[in-house]
């Protein structure tokens, strides 16, 4: 299994789900990926290394929907089946795509932001990275949702947070800088961030500027710090994926295919909206703070 990166909580949850499936299905899971989610060359190198090692199958989260096409085609030519998870690939050389409906997630985030704002106001979106199909689809979903609310003006939607929380923090500072009116006040009403790193980077920037809680903020994904931000209402909502299930299903579908069973071409792993009001419901707690200790090394 090859993730986009190995540092974010999201990927740790995917790893845990994959390990659970591997244990139940009695297969060996080799987990290896780039440290940063913009290191295309490193991810390509990992795919090529697994091909040369003659692994039985590859479960891949491509960090670029074009750059990973050739390595996946090479795997297919070597008779190594590939399951794609998390983020789509502009190719047909895979047996199944296991992921969130990311466009729907973006729509959900946009509609929740608009609901809180009463359908009017000035908003910004912090994008993630070019070439990342999952976040591109969320960004488009958000923009499509905004078309439903003529009273909302998009002030900025062309800034990218980059691959880490640090790059996202700097991008958030740069985005917010011209929008500061006075201490603790911004000239915008709402913010949407599209993944774990951009959400955390924006949260830090808002907190450092004394603006946290004074602007409606909807983010994507979960981590300890983001859950804390949700609880103290520095974040108004988080759009949640189910990364544990994504990792589990990615391995399970690969094993089914290897055993000659029919698998679906597309597996939707679900998307949920969590708010300060519903975050303590048992099903929400399982999503925002899963216990991964029994699975991760």
pLDDT in tens, 224-267: 999 999 999 999 999 999 999 999 999 999 999 999 999 999 99
pTM: 0.94
Instruction: Report pLDDT digits (tens) over 184-225.
Output: 899 999 999 999 999 999 999 999 999 999 999 999 999 999
pLDDT in tens, 48-64: 999 999 999 999 999 99
- Report pLDDT for 183: 78
Name the residue with tokens 């907190």. Answer: 207
Domains and CATH numbers, the chain: 9-100+242-269 (3.40.50.2300), 102-240 (3.40.50.2300)
Q: Is the pLDDT of residue 168 over 90?
A: yes
Q: What is the pLDDT of residues 106-142, one digit of tens each?
A: 999 999 999 999 999 999 999 999 999 999 999 999 9
């Amino acid at each position: 299994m090859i993730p986009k990166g190995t540092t974010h909580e999201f990927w740790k949850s995917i790893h845990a789900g994959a390990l659970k499936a591997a244990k139940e299905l009695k297969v060996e899971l080799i987990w290896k990926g780039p440290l940063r989610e913009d290191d295309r060359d490193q991810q390509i190198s990992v795919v090529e290394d697994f091909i040369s090692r003659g692994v039985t199958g590859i479960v891949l989260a491509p960090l670029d929907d074009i750059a990973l096409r050739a390595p996946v085609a090479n795997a297919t030519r070597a008779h190594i089946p590939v399951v794609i998870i998390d983020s789509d690939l502009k190719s047909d050389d895979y047996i199944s795509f296991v992921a969130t409906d990311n466009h729907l997630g973006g729509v959900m985030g946009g509609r929740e932001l608009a609901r809180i704002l009463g359908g009017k106001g000035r908003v910004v979106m912090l994008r993630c990275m070019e070439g990342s199909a999952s976040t591109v689809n969320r960004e488009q979903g958000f923009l499509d949702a905004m078309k439903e609310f003529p009273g909302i003006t998009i002030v900025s939607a062309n800034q990218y947070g980059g691959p880490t929380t640090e790059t996202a923090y700097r991008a958030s500072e740069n985005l917010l800088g011209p929008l500061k009116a006075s201490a603790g006040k911004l000239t915008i009403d709402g913010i949407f961030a599209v993944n774990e790193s951009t959400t955390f980077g924006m949260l830090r920037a808002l907190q450092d500027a004394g603006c946290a809680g004074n602007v409606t903020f909807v983010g994507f994904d979960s981590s300890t710090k983001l859950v804390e931000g949700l609880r103290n209402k520095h974040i108004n909502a988080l759009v949640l994926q189910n990364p544990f299930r994504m990792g589990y299903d990615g391995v399970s579908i690969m094993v089914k295919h290897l055993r000659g069973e029919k698998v679906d071409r597309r597996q939707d792993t679900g998307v949920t909206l969590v708010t300060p009001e519903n975050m303590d419901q048992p099903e929400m707690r399982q999503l925002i703070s899963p216990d991964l200790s029994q699975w991760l090394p």
